[in-house]
Structure 1
Amino acid sequence: MSDAPWMHGMHADAGYLLYRLGLRSGSLFNAALERHGLRLRHHAVLRYLATVEGARQRELAERLGYDPSAIVSLLDDLQRLGIAERRPDPADRRSRLVVLTEAGRELLRTADRDSRRVTEQLLEPLSPDERATLTGLLQRIAPL
């Protein structure tokens, strides 16, 4: 850590520290997922799709907090990779559901292992109790 006086104030600011952590974690996650042709945003979509029987694009945008226009290009990427596909919605023929393919489920299992390794790397300095506390605090201030 630098001894510059302005750095002491920055390192005491929780917002700035969260910002820095976000940059670092995003970079590490993207590097780990890159070998699968994914970025963190793709992985988030895949993880959500693994929990539902299909989702409309609007639902994905709302649940993940992404701009609806960003969802379109993310889904195009996933469809091009053959890991997600758009299917007609049986409840509304004007709408399409996005579903995870079997190849997508397999890729997600592998990508999740890489993701867990990144999480371990990020949380390595913390004890198990500190990790649990941090997770609880983050869930309170960044609810899903």
Structure 2
Amino acid sequence: MPALDLSTHPGHLARRLQQAHTLLWTTIVSEDVTSPQFAVLNTLVGEDGLDQRTVGERVGLDRSTIAEVVRRLAARGLLDKVRDARDGRRAVLRLTGEGTALHRRLSGRTARMNQIFLAPLSPQERSTFLELLQRVSDAAEELRDPAARPPDEPAP
């Protein structure tokens, strides 16, 4: 049996893409803050006081991963997990001043990293590429959590 052409396998290409992203992230953005950690900080900058489950859903992290990310960010003093004043059973996440400052510093670096990452593409190709990545990512989320799909929408 001949070798397969892995350039036609999305999983193989996605792994290579992730390796390139990780290299750029650690080189340009941060060796100390991971991309998922930045996503959590970014979500809370936009809307402080969300619960952990909601933040995890917004950034595409499962329950155990978001719990670990929040634990690490809290241990570094970048966010606080506090009881909701309106519902004492619920804990909400709030960025600390240090977390907000770190987000501000890293935001410019992420923009620079994205410029380098997408440099091989024309502006139109970038737009199409991001649109297609979003569509595939959304479909993958639905595969992981079929209950999230509207009842009248067929499976992908």
Q: Structure 1 length as normaliser, TM-score?
A: 0.82
Superposition map of 1:92-107 within 5 A: 92-107=87-102
Quick check: which one's strand share is greater? 1
Report if the CA contact (8 A) 1:56-1:95 is conserved. Answer: yes
* 1:26 corresponds to: 22
Determine whether 1:142 maps to 2:151. no
**Identical residues among aligned pairs (%):** 30
* 1:79 corresponds to: 74
Deviation per CA, 1:68-111: give whole Å up to 9, x if none. 22222221221222221112202211221001122212211111
SS of aligned partner of 1:92: coil
Counterpart residue identity of residue 132, structure 1: S
Rounded to whole Å, the distance in 1 between the matches of 2:115 and 2:52 is 31
Rounded to whole Å, the distance in 1 between the matches of 2:57 and 2:121 is 32
Counterpart residue identity of residue 107, structure 2: D
Determine whether 1:67 maps to 2:62. yes
* 1:12 corresponds to: 8
SS of aligned partner of 1:94: coil
Counterpart residue identity of residue 47, structure 1: N
Rounded to whole Å, the distance in 2 between the matches of 1:11 and 1:31 is 26
* Root-mean-square deviation (Å): 2.1
Q: How many residues align?
A: 138
Report if the CA contact (8 A) 2:83-2:90 is conserved. Answer: yes
* 1:57 corresponds to: 52
Counterpart residue identity of residue 111, structure 1: L
* 2:126 corresponds to: 131
Between stretches 53-62 and 128-137, larger displacement belongs to 53-62
After TM superposition, the runs of 4+ consecutive aligned structure 1 residues lying more than 4 A away are none
Deviation at 1:38, TM superposition (A): 0.8
Deviation at 1:61, TM superposition (A): 2.4
Deviation at 1:134, TM superposition (A): 0.9
Give 5+ residue unaligned stretches, structure 1.
none
Report if the CA contact (8 A) 1:30-1:40 is conserved. Answer: no
Report if the CA contact (8 A) 2:30-2:106 is conserved. Answer: no
Counterpart residue identity of residue 52, structure 1: E
Q: Structure 2 length as normaliser, TM-score?
A: 0.76
